[in-house]
């Protein structure tokens, strides 16, 4: 019996992963020089395919780094001299805040209880804030933020940089690049790849901010600061020897998604999410953790397990369906179910049958 991984990242691998991996081996791609013409073409193709898929404007720059957590550090280092402001409703949005504090900045937060979203109309951004940080989809609790709420805040603070963590939302959830100055994600969720590659997407305002900070003697990092990443990207390269395998496979998966169509991916994701939430809302043994439907993530579905999560996880695993435990303090109280493009609706139905 082959397991189906409904975990929230790493998760079920893309069905073409093996084919693309072997394709790269046969072509010798993983042995080419990262300073050569062939790698430059590979780099340019992946960037172009990703920009087309995610509708990234031409004036945004794509950087390949190690992880989304690294992206948090880079964004704070390069965009903040003193003050950032963070919307915190779970462990990963909290991590963004803590990183800013550990880097010696003076971050402030708007915090709400786990499982809840934000009322942006009632939120004021402190004076002097240089960067506002959002988590579009909080993986620890299954709460989403709509771009419309972020847009409403941006209209009030057009000169402030906005950073959005899109790790477990992309490629499903759209991003308004007229609102977000930088976004970032890693590939082990919606792209169905092994972990080890982060994508950081920034506009010229972020680049200019980092240059001003550097000019003022502020530490913006070393090998992976924005100017260094930009200089290398301009040559279709990375500052150091990159994860060529992952960059190549990401480009091929983007090609696959483009051929399938983003609208179809979104439609299938919505259908699977509707099936999952309908089951949870009609089953008191597994109530949805996020009660307000407008805050419910479509890609990370979190269910409460009043009798404990271990037995539920074991029951599902016995039938070949692997789901995630709750995160942190909710480890024994929740299960988390990933709903990414690789997950088939028939497998969702079969998994829910086991839970009945």
Burial bucket for residue 103 (CB in 10 Å: 0-12, 13-18, 19+)? middle
> How high is the pLDDT of residue 121?
86
List, in order, residues 6 or more apart from 282 with CB less than 8 Å away: none
DSSP SS3 for 245: helix
Spatial separation of the C-alpha atoms in residues 320 and 310, rounded to whole Å: 15
Burial bucket for residue 167 (CB in 10 Å: 0-12, 13-18, 19+)? buried
Measure Cα distances from 294 to 61, 84, 144, 146 in Å. 32, 27, 8, 9
Looking at the DSSP bridge assignments, the partners of residue 354 are none
Burial bucket for residue 57 (CB in 10 Å: 0-12, 13-18, 19+)? exposed
> How high is the pLDDT of residue 318?
97
Q: What is the dihedral of CA 325, 331, 332, 334, to 10 degrees?
A: -60
Strand order in the sheet with 161-165: 60-65, 198-203, 182-186, 161-165, 131-135, 84-88, 108-111
Beta strand 300-304 with 334-338: parallel, antiparallel or unpaired?
antiparallel
Spatial separation of the C-alpha atoms in residues 44 and 80, rounded to whole Å: 30
Sign of torsion over alpha carbons 184, 209, 155, 58: negative
| Tokens describing residue 149 | 């709420």
Please choose, from the candidates 195, 198, 84, 202, the residue with its C-alpha nearest in 3D space to the C-alpha of residue 133.
84
The stretches in the chain having pLDDT less than 70 are none
> How high is the pLDDT of residue 16?
98
Domains of the chain: 4-12+261-355 (3.90.1150.10), 17-258 (3.40.640.10)
């Amino acid at each position: 019996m082959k397991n189906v991984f409904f975990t929230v990242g790493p998760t079920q691998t893309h069905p073409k992963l093996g084919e693309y991996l072997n394709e790269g081996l046969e072509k010798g791609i993983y042995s080419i020089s990262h300073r050569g013409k062939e790698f430059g073409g590979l780099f340019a193709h992946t960037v172009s395919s990703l920009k087309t898929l995610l509708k990234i404007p031409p004036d945004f720059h794509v950087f390949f780094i190690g992880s989304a957590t690294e992206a948090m550090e880079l964004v704070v280092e390069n965009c903040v001299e003193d003050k950032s402001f963070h919307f915190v409703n779970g462990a990963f949005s909290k991590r963004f805040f803590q990183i800013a504090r550990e880097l010696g900045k003076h971050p402030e937060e708007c915090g709400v209880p786990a499982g809840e979203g934000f009322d942006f109309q009632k939120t004021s951004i402190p004076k002097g804030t240089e960067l506002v940080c959002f988590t579009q989809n909080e993986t620890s609790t299954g709460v989403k933020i709509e771009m419309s709420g972020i847009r409403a805040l941006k209209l009030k603070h057009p000169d402030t940089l906005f950073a959005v963590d899109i790790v477990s939302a992309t490629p499903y959830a759209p991003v308004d690049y007229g609102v977000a100055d930088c976004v970032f994600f890693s590939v082990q969720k919606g792209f169905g790849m092994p972990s080890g590659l982060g994508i950081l997407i920034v506009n010229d305002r972020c680049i200019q901010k980092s240059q001003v900070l550097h000019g003022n003697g502020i530490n913006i990092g070393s090998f992976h600061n924005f100017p260094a990443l930009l200089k290398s990207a301009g040559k279709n390269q990375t500052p150091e020897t990159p994860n060529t395998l992952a960059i190549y496979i990401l480009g091929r998966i983007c090609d696959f998604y483009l051929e399938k169509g983003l609208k179809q991916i979104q439609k299938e994701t919505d259908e699977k999410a509707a099936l999952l939430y309908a089951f949870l809302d009609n089953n008191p043994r597994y109530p949805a953790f996020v009660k307000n439907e407008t805050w419910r993530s479509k890609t990370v579905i979190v269910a409460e397990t009043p009798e404990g999560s271990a037995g539920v996880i074991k029951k599902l695993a016995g039938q070949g369906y692997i789901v995630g435990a709750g995160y942190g303090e909710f480890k024994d109280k929740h299960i988390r179910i990933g709903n990414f493009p690789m997950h088939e609706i028939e497998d969702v139905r079969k998994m829910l049958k086991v839970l009945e």
